[in-house]
Structure 1
Amino acid sequence: MTVTLTLCETCGYDAAEPEAERPGERFVREVQRQLCASDALSVQRTRCLMVCQRHCAGVLRAPGKITYVLGGFSPEPEAAAALLDYAREYQRSETGQVPFRSWPAGIKGKFIARIPVLEN
């Protein structure tokens, strides 16, 4: 089953430097750089997730699984690695729930919302 990770590429807008590269763009690029060909993970971009207070944000979802909104990452390799490690655990889970003991350290404190599976 393919897991979709949708990341905000416009996160971290700075009015003082409107033309500067945004942290969200750097984070998306770092996640994509670390993505393995063997990952059953689709990374998509979006212009805004409306979680501006917790920029460098993403949505992790798959059919029949709980959806998670995460944010507050730094656009650094360690943060991208933690998110991808969590996404792989999520992919292996039948329901999308990952036991706390399996969470990478860099994912703790990054959850914004947990959205139940939508019933058809």
Structure 2
Amino acid sequence: MTTWITICETCKRDDWAARGMEHTDGELLAAEIETRAGAAGVKTRRVACTMGCERACNIIVQGEDETGTAKMGYSLGKFDGTAEDAAAIVEYAALHAASPTGQVPFRTWPQGVKGHFVSRHLPLPTESDT
């Protein structure tokens, strides 16, 4: 079973320029997630854009089960790019990894991801579904 966190490294919060940032908010969030993900058994990748600019910082959690069947995936956004955000994202991704379908009961969600879900991505149908 593999769960991935895809992180938009080009995300910039609205006040990015005013804060005089050297790195994007997405780069900062990616670095924080990457330092935690390995210990949680979750993989990461950075991408140049997830097209959710109005709600930066954006990530996607997706994966597959032990047979290679895709699980439910999720887009999340409106993070500040903090260490606390990263910890909650990685904790949620570890719960996703442990779930056979990718669905995680709301009562077990880390507080730091609540209110950040943007969309759910249904797995593509398989031949047996058609």
Please tell me the residue identity of whatever aligns with 1:20.
E
- Distance (Å, rounded) in 2 between the aligned partners of 1:17 and 1:99: 37
Cα RMSD, aligned residues only: 1.8
Does the CA-based 8 Å contact 2:37-2:43 persist in structure 1?
A: no
Matches within 5 A, 1:1-120: 1-12=1-12, 14=16, 20-37=22-39, 39-63=40-64, 64-120=70-126
1:34–1:117 distance in 2 versus 1, CA, 3 Å? same
Q: CA deviation at 1:74?
A: 1.1
What SS class does the counterpart of residue 101 from structure 2 fall into?
Answer: coil
Overall identity of the aligned pairs, in %: 39
Q: CA deviation at 1:15?
A: 6.0
- Distance (Å, rounded) in 1 between the aligned partners of 2:18 and 2:89: 29
Q: CA deviation at 1:89?
A: 0.5
Does the CA-based 8 Å contact 2:11-2:24 persist in structure 1?
A: yes
**How big is each residue's C-alpha offset from its partner over 1:70-109, in whole Å with a ceiling of 9 and x where there is no partner?**
1111111110000001001110111111001100000001
Please tell me the residue identity of whatever aligns with 2:87.
A
Q: TM-score, normalised by structure 1?
A: 0.90
Between structure 1 and structure 2, the one with the greater Rg is: 2
Does the CA-based 8 Å contact 2:10-2:27 persist in structure 1?
A: yes
- The number of residues matched between the two structures is 119
